[in-house]
Amino acid sequence: MSSSKFSSGSIRIDGNGNAVGNGNRVTYVKKTIINNNNGSGSGDDGKGQDAGGALAILGFVGGAVALAALSFWFTRYSAVIYGTLIFFSFTNGAFGVMAALKQFYDDDYLEALRSFSLAAIALLTYLSVGTASDTMPTDLAEFSKIGTFNSFWCGLNLFGQQVASQHSIIGTFIMVPLAVLTGLQTWRSATLAMCDAEELPEWAQSVLESAAGWRQFIAICMICVLCVAGHSRAGDQFWKDHFNSRISFICPSK
């Protein structure tokens, strides 16, 4: 004898000779089991959501650890980093001014304007790095020389984490690239000012243009704006507004 089972949201039919229909259409089922689960997703979807959530949590934890480590190492060597950036910024500015004067003398006004702009960018970088160096708390730098990055980060209050993370991110991802790119640009300007374009080998001209072309010059101008704004009053307030809670979940519980 065939049997039919019905439950809320699920239909199961097994056996031979069963008739399934709605009054208009009848289907005879022979040696078939029909399962109809309404409103339920597949198991793979649930597993996919769980995996996505786990990856998001893992990424967040990894980002917090990376931020703590970067803040620790940058703060520990901040005096050396800022001193090196100040030296390169001053050198870049000097090369830019010399190149601009030579190009202006040679009536190459477009290149002279570009070189003067690079000198101005180098000066702004110099002032920004000086401001960053002056605002790095001495006790914070001394504290970074003790222990590991975990003990350093977990020993900071909210203000300490704000300052350390702000200096490390702006210094690593804005100031250092700005100084390097400006150096390439001023080296190009000085080379072209001291040598006629015809005197340079074709490969040298290609390298100069690929390393310090107009696209790179525009990128430098944009990065310079971020550099100046980074340690301004508006930049400090922006950072405090968006870094408004202490990150301590990676710290050992006391």
Q: What is the pLDDT of residues 188-238, one digit of tens each?
A: 888 888 876 556 677 777 777 777 778 889 999 999 999 999 999 999 999
**Stronger pLDDT, 124 or 50, i.e. the higher one:** 124
Query: Mean pLDDT, to the nearest integer, of 80-85?
Result: 97
pLDDT tens per residue, range 99-108:
999 999 988 8
Out of 88-97, 131-140, 204-213, pick the least confident. Answer: 204-213
User: How much is the pLDDT for 17?
Assistant: 52
20: left (phi over 0), alpha (psi -120 to 50) or beta: beta
Task: Give the N- to C-terminal CA distance of the chain in Å, as an integer.
Answer: 68
**Stronger pLDDT, 45 or 1, i.e. the higher one:** 45
Query: Mean pLDDT, to the nearest integer, of 161-185?
Result: 96
Q: Cα separation of 110 and 28, whole Å?
A: 87
Query: Mean pLDDT, to the nearest integer, of 1-8?
Result: 46
pLDDT at 18 over 80: no
User: How much is the pLDDT for 227?
Assistant: 96
Query: Mean pLDDT, to the nearest integer, of 101-119?
Result: 92
CA angle, corner 85, sides to 232 and 149, nearest 5?
Answer: 80
pLDDT at 6 over 50: no
Q: Cα separation of 232 and 254, whole Å?
A: 37
User: How much is the pLDDT for 34?
Assistant: 44
Which residues have a Cβ under 8 Å from the Cβ of 145 and sit 6 or more positions away? 76
Q: Are 34 and 8 in contact (CB under 8 A)?
A: no
User: How much is the pLDDT for 153?
Assistant: 95
pLDDT at 78 over 80: yes
Name the token pair of 247.
């990150």
Out of 52-56, 158-162, 186-190, pick the least confident. Answer: 52-56
Name the token pair of 152.
């350093």
All structural domains of the chain with their residue ranges: 1-61, 77-242
pLDDT at 179 over 90: yes
**Stronger pLDDT, 71 or 212, i.e. the higher one:** 71
